[in-house]
Every structure is written in structure tokens, then in C-alpha cells.
Amino acid sequence: MTTLPPSLSPSRSQTTCASLLQELQIIWDEIGESDGERDKMLLELEQECLNIYRRKVEMTRKCKADLQNSLAQFESEIAKIVSSLGEHSFSFSRGKGTLKQQISYIRPVLEELRSKTKQRVKEFTETQSQIVKICAEIAGNGQSMMSSDPQVDERDLTVKKLGELKSHLQELQNEKIIRLQKVDSHISMIHELSVVMSFDFLKTVSGIHSSLIDPANGQSKSISNDTLAKLTGVVNSLQQEKQKRLQKLQCLGSTLIELWDLLDTPPDERKRFEHVSSLISSSVDEVLRQGSLGLDIIEQIELQVQSLNVLKASKMKELVLKRQNELEEIYRGVHIDVNSDAARQILINLIESDNVDLSNLLSSMDDQIAKAKQEALSRKDILDKVDKWKHASEEEKWLDDYEKDENRYSAGRGVHKNLKRAEKARILVSKLPSIVEHLTAKLKAWELEKGIPFLYDKASLLDMLEEYTVLRQAREDEKRRSREKKRLQEQFAAEQEALFGSRPKNPLAQTNAMVGTPTSRRVSTPSGSFVVSFAKEEADRTDVTKNRSC
């Protein structure tokens, strides 16, 4: 029970009231108040005292309730803060004693928790501010989002929640680092490409974002999606332009070398453009020299190529005609007939018309020469056998003439050589049927494979062989008939000599005048004209023999 202060103890209070009441009685006596008035005034005084006590009790009761309410609020706030901070292991007791003692005990605990909450809110604010800042940088609207502080949800200030935010912040910081590396890499690539192609690097990069060249007021380089996309686009565009320019220079460089080789350009003249010719075999990544792909270099090479093309046109006519000569020589060597004059006139007309690419024309002629060489190679085996056949035919003709010479065994100059030649010729002539047979078989196989006739100086070689075979057989038949006729004539002469005596022989001079020992000679290709002329000669010899016999 609450004790009263000494000044308000019951005994002293009663003494004070009694003395005051006694003084009041004295005053009433002097005034002459009636007993009724006195009783009434005492009743009012008693009521007023009761009212004062009652108000004091109410005030004290309210103070107690306020203290209890404060204590409850403190406890509620502590519970709320503990829950917000996630301090589930935290426990406290209000202790024993009066309400004021309990409040004095709990207040420091609450203040400590409030301080801890304030510190935790500060950590949340700083972490969320950094998250918002990086997100704003990535989104590309950093200034607008950084103008206001982020709102912290104080209902959840747990260490777990803070750890999640810090982990998210770490991820964003890592992404920012990666993005900065990408930005720096793209800027470095743009600088490298700009140097190679003589572009304005500062103008190119500042057009993407001003912070990439000169960050102002501590602003870092832009790492937004838009900036990265623009940087990537510019890098791709510059790489494509670099590839395009390199290909153009490589094409021009190859053309330049071809023109140099074509025009026999001296080394000193070529040395001026070594930087271009060295790019022909280079890949895109290997071209790093400053200005090596600049437009001024390309224009310089284009002018040089144009200048050399003017010189090339005058020399191309000479080269084309030279290729035509080579082509004709190949065909002539394998007995393929071509209309040289007409072909040359067509080439000259094409060159003078300026309606044809001379390089393509030269390339086309090179292809024709390659095909002609292939065709010549396919004909070589047959032509070798044709030469063998021609030689055997010539020897056959010589042997026929030699054997018709009645004085071939007479002593004289060259008789020994003719005897040896005749011996070899007989061996070779004996092989003629086999040579012709093998040549015919080869020829038919070739024509079957190619699907075209084998022409030898405009004439069908197969027809020539068949005609030769027919005429040779006719000649052999004529030889047999001549020998038989001669045998009969000699027999008749012998019978006449037996009946009438011997007759004088023809003078030696007359015989030698009519038939002489044949000399070695070469004839033309065994074509139709050669075979016909050969048949005519044989017919003339037959007539001469008949006349002599008569």
C-alpha cells in the first residue's frame, strides 16, 4: 500500500482540519451564521474534499493505466522488433517490482533493439540503393530512378532477407563487371577497326553514348542493354565493312599481280604496292596495320588497276593471237584440220569490238588449249601407228619399184645399200597386214568411245585404211596376174627359141632408160589422193610391161 508523505500523515491532517474548523467556527460566531447555514457549508466542504480525493484517485488510476499501457506497448514493440529482426532466440522478462521499475528495466532493452533496427534498416537501405542503382544502369534510366531513396519493408529485417539482398547485389555487381568488360572490349575493337579503316573513333563511340568517351560528374560508363546492343551493332557493322574492304583489296591486288605479270612490270614499280599485294593471303584478323584498309588506299589501287587495264588492252590482242598460234600448232601436230584464217578474223573482230572481256577470252583460249592437248594425247597412240603404217607403205612402194628394176643387181654405186634396204623393207612389208589390222581396231575403239569419226587432215582415217586395203589387195592381184603372164610369155619365148633359134635381147641402154633403180623418197600422208596417185603409177607400169612383152 502506498504511504503518504510526512506532511500528509493522518494525525497532522486531522490537526490541521480541526484547527481550520475551529477557526471557521470562530468566524461564523463573529458573523452570526445560523446552524443550518453552518451545517450546509460544512456539507459542501466535505463534498468538495471528497471530489478532490476522487479526482486524485482517478488521476492516479489513469497514471497507472498509462504506465501499464506503456509497458504493454514496450513489450509489443519489443516482440515486433524481435520478429522483424528474426531474433527468435531473444528472450526477456519485465522483472518484478512496481510498474515504474518494470518500465525502467525494459526501456534500455527497447532502446537497444531500436538501435539495432535502425542499423539494420540502414544496411537494407544501402543494399537496396546499390541494387536500384545497378538495375537503373542496366535499364539505362539511372538518373530518374536514383532521385528517390528505396522504401524498406521494416516488417522483414531478418539476416536471411538481408543476405538474399546482398547475394542479389553481388550477382548484379558481377553482371556489371561483365558488362563493363564487354563495353571495354567493344570500345577496344571499335578503336582497332577504326584505326585499320581510318575512321573517326571518337565520333563513332560518342554517337553511341557520351559516357563512353568522357564520363562526367563521376558518372561511370553506360552498361545499359541499349548501349551494349548499339556497341555490338557498330562492331558487327565495322567487321563487315572490314571484310568487304579486305575482299575488295584482295581482288584488286590479285588483278594487279595478274596485270604486272601480263605486262612484265619491273620490280621497282611493283614495290610501291607491296602493302596491297601482301594482303592477298591475309585473313581478316591478321590485318591490323594503321590505315591499311582506308578508302584512300582502295581508291589508289583502283586508279592503278584502271591505268594498267588500258595498257593491257593493247597487249591482249598480241596474247590472244599468240594463244591462237599455239592452238593451231597443237591441232596441226595431230593432223586436225582447222580454219585458221577464219578463226583469226573472228578473234580480231571480237577484240576490236570492245564487247568482250579480254581476260575471259584469254581464259577461254587457255581452256581450249588444255582441251586440245587432251585431245592430242588421246590421238597420240593412233597417230604413232599411222606413222608406222605410212613408213611401211613408203617402203612397200620403194620395194615394188626396186624389184621391177632388172638391173638392180648390176655393179654400181649404192647397190649394196639398196640390197640391205630391200631386205629390211621385205620384213616390214610382211608386217603391213598386221599393222593395218591393229590400227583399224584401235581406230574403231576410239571412234566408239568418242562417238565421232577420227579425221586425219579432213579425211576419215578409217575410210583411208579401208581404201588402202582394197587397193593393196587389187595391186597384189595385179602382181599375181603379171607374174603369171610373164611366166607364160617366158614359156612361149622358150618354145619359139626351140623352134626358130635365139633372138637378140633388148639393148641394155633401152632397159636402163625405161626402168631404173628407185631412190629413197618420202611421200605425203596416206590419204585418198596418195592412194589414187599410187594406183595410177601402178597402172602405167603395167602398160609399159605389156608393151615390152609385145
**Distance from C-alpha of 288 to C-alpha of 303, rounded to nearest angstrom:** 24
User: Of 117, 144, 170, which closes a domain?
Assistant: 117
What are the φ and ψ backbone dihedral angles of 189, each rounded to 5 degrees? -65, -40
- Residue by residue, pLDDT tens for the chain (550 residues) are 444 444 445 555 556 888 888 988 899 889 988 888 989 998 998 899 999 999 999 999 999 899 889 888 888 888 888 888 887 767 666 667 788 888 888 888 889 888 988 998 899 899 999 999 888 888 887 555 555 667 887 788 888 888 999 999 999 999 999 999 999 999 999 999 999 888 888 888 888 887 887 765 556 788 888 888 999 999 999 999 989 999 998 899 898 888 888 788 888 888 888 888 788 888 888 888 888 888 898 898 899 888 888 887 777 778 788 888 888 888 888 888 777 788 878 887 877 776 777 778 878 888 888 888 888 888 888 888 888 888 888 888 888 888 777 776 666 666 788 888 888 888 888 888 888 888 888 888 888 888 888 888 888 888 888 888 888 888 888 888 888 888 888 888 888 888 876 555 444 434 443 334 444 433 333 333 333 333 344 444 444 334 433 3
Return the number of other C-beta atoms located less than 10 Å from residue 317's C-beta.
15
For 296, the grid coordinates are 584512300
- Can you give the pLDDT at residue 95? 66
What CATH number should be reported for the domain holding residue 543?
1.20.58.1520
DSSP 453: -
Question: Residue 456 gets which letter from DSSP?
Answer: E
* Other CB atoms within 10 Å distance of the CB of residue 469: 15
In the three-class reduction of DSSP (H, G, I as helix; E, B as strand; rest coil), residue 460 is classed as strand
CA pair distance 520, 497, nearest whole angstrom: 39
What does the block give as the cell for 538? 601402178
Residue 189 within a domain: no
Asked which of 83, 117, 151 is the last residue of a domain, the reply is: 117
- Under 8 Å CB-to-CB from 432, ≥6 apart: which residues? 389, 392, 393, 396, 472
Rounded CA-CA distance 498/118 in Å is: 167
Kindly state whether residue 519 falls inside one of the protein's structural domains.
yes
Backbone angles phi, psi at 53, to 5 degrees: -60, -40
- Answer with the one of 96, 117, 138 that is the final residue of a domain: 117
Compute the distance between CA of residue 52 and CA of residue 46 in angstroms, rounded to an integer.
Answer: 10
Rounded to whole angstroms, how far apart are CA atoms 1 and 368?
134
Write out the residue range of the structural domain in which residue 87 sits: 23-117
Q: Tell the residue number behind the cell numbers 577461254, with chain if given.
A: 364
Cell numbers describing residue 504? 637378140
**Residue written as grid cell 592412194:** 531
**Number of independent structural domains in the chain:** 2
Reported residue count of the chain is 550
Distance separating alpha carbons of residues 274 and 259, to the nearest angstrom? 15
Burial class (CB in 10 A: 0-12, 13-18, 19+), 484: exposed
C-alpha to C-alpha distance for 34 and 166, rounded to whole angstroms: 89
The 8-class DSSP code of residue 520 comes to P
Q: Judge whether 245 lies within some domain.
A: no
Position 499 in a domain:
yes
Considering the domain boundaries, does residue 199 fall inside one?
Answer: no
Task: Establish if 415 belongs to a structural domain.
Answer: yes
Q: What is the DSSP letter of 412?
A: -
Following DSSP, what letter does each residue of 363-390 receive, concatenated?
HHHHHHHHHHHHHHHHHHHHHHHHHHHH
Give Rg (Cα) of the chain.
66
pLDDT of residue 365: 84
Residue 285 is classified by DSSP as G
Residue-wise burial string across 428-456, b where 16 or more C-beta atoms lie within 10 A, e elsewhere: bbeebeebbeebbebbeebeeeeeeebeb
Three state DSSP letters for 87-118: CCCCCCCCCCCCHHHHHHHHHHHHHHHHHHHH
Query: Does residue 212 lie in a domain region?
Result: no
Would you say residue 61 lies in a domain? yes
